[in-house]
Amino acid sequence: MKQAVRLGPIAVANPPHRLATARSLEVARALAPDEVSTAVLARLHDRSGIEQRNCAILDADGGVPLYGIGPQGGDDDPRVPGTAARMIAYEEHARRLAVDAAARAIEADAHGPDRITHLVTASCTGFDAPGVDRSVMDAVDLRADIRRTHVGFMGCHAAVNALAVARAFAAEDPRHRVLVVCVEISSVHFHRDQRLDRLISNTLFADGAAATVVALGDTGPELAATAATVIPDTIDVMGWRIGDYGFEMTLGAEVPAHLRANLPAWIERTLAAHELSIDAIGGWAIHPGGPRVIDAVVESLGLPEDAGATSRAVLREHGNMSSVTLLFILDRLARDSSPGPWVGLAFGPGLAGEFLLIR
């Protein structure tokens, strides 16, 4: 019998501090131009579905020095940092969180670091070289001859891309063991802008890391398949570009409508290729680009309302951590012993969709 590629336990890493809704609104008020009303900012927070967000750049006293925001209840001197300053903050926090998640994943893997042959990392919120992959190598004592691959700047669906790469490496040889690490520090890209999509980005995005080991013949769930699609005529609907003052998000309000119109046929076709139907799926890991994205997926596929419950819970408790979020949701499904098979769905610039099947 052909061995299956298996997914090991997922290890997650959170920053030490989280941005609760009340403080998030205060930070948003300090960052927003004067012409943006507090009522608008409050409404965006109310609609976000988030009660607290992981925030690596948040101090224990509630201050956010990167943006000149003082301690909670103190004075602010808001500033707009350049991209270089933001990347310095990214390097510091991304390395720490990536190492934390990787160490936990290695600890949960019975074979230890010496057996890891490949390292696949994913991140879209920063660039540096040597990057988080080298920091992980040194911190968890990976072999010097490890094969490294970085999935960069693909956005919220990059965890699926990273797992697809890991699955291919693992399937090549039963000796291959692939450590996958996703890390995002979205908070270094808050903007001082009156554009609605930038205000929404300031409200939604968060930080975190997650890691797992992928290999042939292990005892975890099968990493059965991945698939992808690009929705026609949507290239400008969602974008992520490097600007002088951080990475600039374009997030069109029409994203949920495009998902509603295009998702059912793609998912039905993809599942049919694996002799499955929508009704056969026991757990759904829907990347929470926001509450409306979860709504669009659940409603367009005719899923029961509780199909989006795990995604909503992760969004509520952690915020949208870009590529990391899907792994947090899969970890929650595993810990809750949700019946399989599971489908993971995530969407990113393009407008692109990525599909993951776990049996």
Q: Which of the residues are catalytic? A: 156
Q: Which of 324, 304, 303 shows the shortest CA–CA distance to 314?
A: 324
Report the length, in residues, of the chain.
359
**Whole-number Cα distances in Å, 131 to 101, 141, 322, 346:** 15, 16, 18, 25
Q: Are strands 147-152 and 177-185 parallel, antiparallel or unpaired?
A: unpaired
